[in-house]
Structure 1
Amino acid sequence: MTRKKKKAARFGCRILFYLYIILIFYFVLLSERYGRETGYETSHVNLVLFKEIKRFWMYRSLLTPEAFITNLVGNVFAFSPFGFLLPAMTEKKRGFIKVVVGTFLFSFLIESCQFIFKVGVFDVDDLLLNTVGGLIGYIIYTFGYKISVTIYRRR
């Protein structure tokens, strides 16, 4: 791949990354579909690791499939693009630790905004699930990168 094509690909990844960030903030802080009603008098907080994950798993038969999937699976896969796009948009490849820490910090920012604006719940389980999602995205990026390098070398 030529240097010019690599630069164009990184630029495209940056655009996708910024759009992704905007979408995440919209869905987490503004979307009424996901219970983001404002006007709570107090902030809602869960600081007990695995509390909400256990609750959603135990009561999954009482919940709608959408509620179960959105909370557990959605938190993981909503942050996979972060772990994929972060190394893809830079010339110097980001390492595993940088992507995991970056995903955690971005998730912490989102959770803190929920706390400050009294929208949703500041939940340590979400921090864990979101960080796992970023890790999955990074793993997908790494495999994709290795496959593309192998294909390019064979040409």
Structure 2
Amino acid sequence: MELYQMIAAHSRPWSEREFLFFGSVILVCTLCLLAAVAMHKIKKTQALGGIIALVYMVIIFGSTVFTRGVSSRQCELTVFWSWKEVLAVRDREMMTEILMNCVMLMPVGILLPVAAGRRIHPAVALLAGVVLSGTIEVSQFIFARGLFEWDDIIHNSLGCMLGCVVANGVYKFLLKRRGRKVSGKEPLY
């Protein structure tokens, strides 16, 4: 199943209230970031990274929680149950779902160093992934909009951390290319 088909199968179109709410959140955060740029608290690239990360997270929350149909509250508390399914039954669709969950928060991990304006320790990205994915999973359970499972939190968080590692590698490469010492604290821009 392709990514578009997976999203279309789980999501309904956004309502006017959802557009208004999430649009307002994005607008307020964008204005705050632009004010921080105007006061020279952050750089333009940091604001852009923050805005892109916010828009991406809104889309993720929308597609994983708010646009799904209401069902019954479900949870799978067995850790790595999805891997047991893949290994025991050779379930290709489950393997695709695992990989999609790993990739889902990778852009957030990539954008963390951009928004921070410096390299981020992978453990911080892992923690950010746990918090973000945990919020999604708990919301799915509370609003009865999907299956709460530890595996999703683990896979999403690992993807966020991997995205951060990739961004840090690019950051390090760019600093070396510019002839700067690489310690992680100096800004790239």
The normalised TM-score by structure 1 is: 0.80
Partner of 1:54: 84
Counterpart for residue 77 of structure 1: 103
How far 1:86 moved relative to its partner? Answer: 1.6
Give the Å deviation of 1:77. 0.5
Structure 2 contact 109–162 (Cα < 8 Å) conserved: yes
* Pairwise CA distance, 1:82: 1.5
Instruction: Tell me which amino acid in the other structure corresponds to 2:74.
Output: H
Matches within 5 A, 1:102-121: 102-121=128-147
State the match for 1:88 in structure 2. Answer: 114
Partner Cα separation in structure 2 for residue 59 and residue 113 of structure 1: 30
| Residues 36-86 of structure 1: per-residue CA shift (max 9 Å, x gap) | 331x2x31101110112322454445x6x5x642x1111000111111112
Q: Which structure's relative contact order is higher, taking Cα pairs within 8 Å and 6+ residues apart?
A: 1
Aligned to 2:56: 20
Q: Determine the structure 2 residue equivalent to 1:133.
A: 159
TM-score normalised per structure 2: 0.66
Q: How does 1:34-49 map to 2 (within 5 A)?
A: 36-38=68-70, 40=71, 42-49=72-79
> Which consecutive unaligned segments of at least 5 residues does structure 1 have?
none
User: Are the equivalent residues in 1 in contact too, given 2:105–2:156 (CA < 8 A)?
Assistant: yes
CA distance in 2, matches of 1:55, 1:9: 43
Q: Deviations over 1:77-106 (max 9, x none)?
A: 011111111222014643222211111111
1:7-59 per-position Cα deviation (integer Å, ceiling 9, x unaligned): 1211111111011111111121245xxxx331x2x311011101123224544
SS at match of 1:153: coil
2:56 partner letter: Y
- The CA distance in 1 between the partners of 2:98 and 2:118, in whole Å, is 32
Residue equivalent to 2:173: 147
> Structure 2: where are the runs of 5+ without partners?
1-39, 181-189
Distance between the aligned counterparts of 1:92 and 1:140, measured in 2?
A: 13
